[in-house]
Every structure is written in structure tokens, then in C-alpha cells.
Structure 1
Amino acid sequence: MNKIIFFLAAICFAVSSCTKEKTDYEAEIDITVPEYIAFKEATRIHAADHDISIEALNGTFYKGYNEIRLKIIDRKTQKEVNATATTYLPILTEANGNILTCPHRYHLDYKTEGKYFSGYTVFTDKSNTTRNWELHITFTLDNQTYTAKQAVNVQEQTNKNLNATVFTGKDNEQYIIALVSPQKPQIGENELIAGIYRFNRPNNPASGDFPDPTQFSYTEVRDYTLKLDPRMPEPSMGNHSSPNNQDLTQRDDGLYHGVVNYTMTGNWTLNFILLNKQGDLLKGTEVPTDFTPGIEGVKSELYIDILF
């Protein structure tokens, strides 16, 4: 009888602990991590008689994945103009003189229904006193090519559901995985969307005016597989997983889509294994399936922590 009472008391303690943690996590998310759905102007760049307006969610550039919308406006009429060959290149300059870029869409796509150029940027660092981001834009109008540049501020991403990771694969190439969605997960099955990018090492020295885009580019990797094993690594959670998860595969939008099932709020680790088109392992390790209450869970060598 005493053993039964002790067992029931332990269950009650575990349930109350989980409930307390769950409440705390929900309060943190509600206060600090809103879901942004509106595009607002993040910066405006002057180019001769035109303005280049770049919009992002919440009007802010964040470390990690940013969808952008670019419009070119005649400054006199304040009307959008029909430009062509619009390019977009983010450049990071570090205090030691290193000049880098990040995953981005260089040739922007024009969306006729919204009358804007569509692209993205995966900022790999936030702006600070030692790291400065600058956007370089070109466009053609009436057979004349315009160039412009603008320093921009990139803020820390406070929403851990939009975290990213940079790593070197077994092929000695640099990769970036950036979470795109959901911004604010729900308990249950969520569509998980991520971008996967590989740095293009320059084959030739720079030519022409700075910056030469051939020196600063990434590729959206094609037809890879990102195997998913979500776990709750906290000792109190025993590194348990959940059912009905689906690995991420690429769709027509270039992004990778899968399903993650969050059974409760709290700290989760998205354990990954990345396979290339041929099925070769590039990064990641299998996670033990043992339930380990009281012990912090083992993570894959490739993972992203989230919190909701």
C-alpha cells in the first residue's frame, strides 16, 4: 500500500511540475513572441529620382529567415514604376575586414497581383558595433541601370521557433537550415517549414565593381531530405518524442515542408539528419529512443532548439 501511495504521489508531483512549466512557457510566448502577419516598410533607399521601399514582417529585419517585398517608386509622382532586372544582395562587413553574405534571392521575382518584387534574406548575424549589414540593389528602367545601397539594422530573433543553424557537412560544404514556420506553434500537429542553403565557393577571383555577386551567393539545395525527430530534452520530460511526425522534403516554393507534433508546450529540440539527393548522410545522428526521466536528453549532432 505504501508503495502505491508513493507512486501516486510521484505522478501528482510530475503532473503539477509539467503544468507549472507549461503555464510559464505560455505566459512567456504570449508576452514576448507575437505572431507577425503584416508587412511594413523596413527601410527606404534613394536611387536617383526613385525610392526603393523594402518591406518585411513587422517592418523589421531579424536574424534568421526574412521574407521581403521590394517596390520601386517614382519620387515625383509617388507611383510604382515597372522596373526590370531587379537584384538584391546583402553584405556583412566584420570589424576584422571580413566581407560575407548570407542566403538570399539575388534575382527578385515580380508578383503582378501585389505589384512588388519578392525575395528573402536569411541574416546569419544581428547588427552590432562589430558587424554591419548593407543592402545592394540594382534595377533597370528605360534601358538605364540604377544602383543603390543602404546600411540596415538586423535585430536578434526573440522567437525561438524561428531559429537557424550553420554547420559544415561531411562533404566539407557550409550549410544553413533556417526555420520559416510556424511562428507560433499549437499543441498538436504543425506544418514545419524550413529553408536549406549551401554556400557557393567562388571559383574565380572577383571582377568588376564591388560587390561581385559571383563571390557572394548561396544555393537552395535541391531534393534533399531532412529527417526529423522532435524531443523534449529537459530532465523532467525524459527526452520523450511524439507520434505522427513527418520528415521535411522540398516543394515547388523551394522550401522544405514536414510535420512536427508538439504534445505540450515547453522546450523542444528538433533533432535532424540531413541527406543529400543521393541519400548520402551530410550531418546528423540518430537519437536514442530510451525514456530517461531525470536525465537531460541526448541531441543529434544537427539540431535546433525551440520554445513555445
Structure 2
Amino acid sequence: MKLKYILPILFIALFTTACSSDDDNNNNTQINEVEGLTKIQDIVNSNHTIELFNKTGIFYTGYNHVTFRIKNTDDDTYYQNANISWMPMMQMPTMQHSCPRSTIEKVAGKQTIYEGTVVYQMTGMDGSGWSLTFNYTIDGVDYSVTDTITVSQNSNQNVTSVMASDETRYIIALIEPENPIIGINDLTVGLYKMESMMSFPKIEDYTITLDPRMPGMGNHSSPNNTDLSYNISDNLYHGDLSLTMTGYWVLNLKLLNDANTIIKGEDVTEENPKSSLYLELEF
């Protein structure tokens, strides 16, 4: 075959191979940034869709870790640089209130993913009661979107709201262990103060004593527990929880303020089998 015919054929072949390689590389670099998560719901306005994810796809009473991303509804792309805040709201017959929540932050190492935590004190089934509002800014333009949400009841009391002797309402939420084991577990809780109907700041430098019991087994306790103390690195309270067997446990607590005065909770005795301040877990 003459050279003038061979050269065009080689050029076409090389061009086709290069295009195919580029396509393959583009496909390989598409990363699913919400892999392993389940969508809770979409909250939509005329410009954008805010997608909400967590591990279960359900909001439960107690501590919820939530992952977000914002989609442009015109071209289905996701925004990499947005400033976003949120306001959960419970509408009751005669009043409304919010709940403890973190700020929303961009996840390090992710292009389009944001995250935050929220503590729901009560249920809101079938879209009644709870709503969620997002206010956000993209490229200097402000947007807002609101929708109702469903909050299901956790099977155990993993959050409690109590009035203490200092006339302040506190909220304590169980965070870890998420998957308890027989042995020593890292126990982590969040402690919040109801400053107003809309403000629930975290509380520093208190102490929470721990006495786990098994009501179905003679209300016995367990060895090697440690009380919970404040950790400045994550603004949460940490201690050691010893679980000697599977089953239903009541985590009896006492709340001590920064002056080491008990402001809520009591010792467990034969006459008083459970503190008025407690959380539950079962495994």
C-alpha cells in the first residue's frame, strides 16, 4: 500500500485510541462522594435541590450526623463553594422551638460535600411538627429553602431533656457507642443548655457521673466504668462504659456543674433503682 494511504489510516487509528483513553480516564475519575450513605430526602426550591444523607436514610430522635450537597437543578451539577446554615423547627399548637445543632462545614477532601449534626428531642411523624430551613449563599447570591421533615422515635431513650436544680433545661444526647460490645466501650455524649427556644449552646467543664445497670438482671452494675468529662478537642463528654453482657442497659447519670455541685440525678440504691437522669441502650 502506498505511503499516502497508510499515513491517514494510522492518524485516524491513533486519534480514535486517544479519544477512547480520555473517555475511560474521565469515567474512572468520577467519584461518588456519598458512597455508603442513604438519602433522607431532597429539599427543593426553584433554583436548587439540597440533598440530605446519613447512614440509615432516616432522622431519629437523638443525635443525627447529616451529610449535604447542593445541586443546580438546571444542569444537575453540584456546588463546591457555598456558605450554608440551617434551622430545624418544631411547630407545636401554642409555641415553636428549635433544637441543638452544629454549624455546617465543608468536609475536608471532598469537593461537594458538607456536614453537620442535629439533636432532635422529640418525634415528628408524617411531616407534622418538624421543618428544616436552609439559608445559603452561592456566588454572592442569597437563597433560602424550607420543607417539612419526619423524625422517627429511636427504640431506646438516647436523648433526654431535663430541668435541673439551677432552673436551667439541659439536653443530653448519646453519641457513642453506636455499636456496643461486651467489654469497655468509649462512651460519648453531647451536653447542651436551652438558652432560649432557638439557642442550645454546648456546655463546657461539667462532669457527668455514670452508673450502668441491667434492670432485667437484678439491676446489677459493671466494673471499670469512668465518669464523663469534657473534651476540648470536640466539645463533647467522654468516659468508659463497661458492658459485661448483651441485653438492655440503663445508663444512670448525675450532672455536676463546674463547681462540682450535683444539679440533676441521684445515686442508684435498692430504694431508688434508677436515676431521674438516664439514657438507654440495648445490644
TM-score (norm 2): 0.81
For residues 201-259 of structure 1, the C-alpha deviation after alignment (integer angstroms, 9 at most, x for no partner) is 2xxxxxxxxxxxxx51211111221111111223xx23221111111122222222211
Q: Corresponding residue for 1:15?
A: none
Larger Rg over CA atoms: 2
Alignment pair present for 1:249 and 2:229: yes
Partner amino acid, structure 2, of 1:93: Q
The structural deviation recorded for 1:55 is 1.1
Specify which of 90, 93, 110 is matched with residue 91 of structure 2. Answer: 93
Structure 2 portions without partners, runs of 5+: 1-34
Q: Corresponding residue for 1:9?
A: none
For residues 259-305 of structure 1, the C-alpha deviation after alignment (integer angstroms, 9 at most, x for no partner) is 111111222211111112232222111223xxx6xxx9711221123
The DSSP-based 3-state class of the residue aligned with 1:177 is: strand
Inter-CA distance 250–137: structure 2 relative to 1 (3 Å threshold): same
For residues 65-115 of structure 1, the C-alpha deviation after alignment (integer angstroms, 9 at most, x for no partner) is 110111112223322213433101100112x2321111112x311113234
**1:104-115 matched pairs, under 5 angstroms:** 104-105=101-102, 107-114=103-110, 115=112
Q: Corresponding residue for 1:135?
A: 132
Q: Corresponding residue for 2:239?
A: 258
Specify which of 167, 171, 190 is matched with residue 195 of structure 1. Answer: 190
Specify which of 160, 180, 183 is matched with residue 178 of structure 2. Answer: 183
Q: Is 128-137 or 253-262 further displaced after alignment?
A: 128-137
Partner amino acid, structure 2, of 1:172: E
Alignment pair present for 1:238 and 2:213: no
Specify which of 173, 177, 202 is matched with residue 220 of structure 1. Answer: 202
Q: Is 267-276 or 81-90 further displaced after alignment?
A: 81-90
Q: Corresponding residue for 1:45?
A: 43
Alignment pair present for 1:117 and 2:114: yes
Instruction: Answer whether contact 1:233 1:297 (CA < 8 A) is retained.
Output: no
The DSSP-based 3-state class of the residue aligned with 1:218 is: coil
Q: Corresponding residue for 2:7?
A: none
Distance 1:83 1:217 in 2: 27
Percent sequence identity is 33
Specify which of 164, 172, 193 is matched with residue 167 of structure 2. Answer: 172
The structural deviation recorded for 1:180 is 1.2
Distance 1:271 1:38 in 2: 34
Distance 2:193 2:70 in 1: 30
Question: RMSD between aligned alpha carbons?
Answer: 2.1
Alignment pair present for 1:273 and 2:281: no
Instruction: Answer whether contact 1:238 1:297 (CA < 8 A) is retained.
Output: no
Distance 2:90 2:189 in 1: 23
Instruction: Answer whether contact 2:163 2:170 (CA < 8 A) is retained.
Output: yes
Partner amino acid, structure 2, of 1:239: N
The structural deviation recorded for 1:57 is 2.1
Q: Corresponding residue for 2:275?
A: 300
Inter-CA distance 40–270: structure 2 relative to 1 (3 Å threshold): same
Q: Corresponding residue for 1:21?
A: none
TM-score (norm 1): 0.74
The structural deviation recorded for 1:51 is 1.3
Distance 2:282 2:107 in 1: 34
Q: How many residues align?
A: 247
Distance 2:149 2:99 in 1: 14
Distance 2:234 2:95 in 1: 32
Instruction: Answer whether contact 2:123 2:151 (CA < 8 A) is retained.
Output: yes
Instruction: Answer whether contact 2:105 2:115 (CA < 8 A) is retained.
Output: yes
Instruction: Answer whether contact 2:128 2:148 (CA < 8 A) is retained.
Output: no
Inter-CA distance 56–271: structure 2 relative to 1 (3 Å threshold): same
Q: Corresponding residue for 1:77?
A: 75
Q: Corresponding residue for 2:8?
A: none
The structural deviation recorded for 1:42 is 0.7
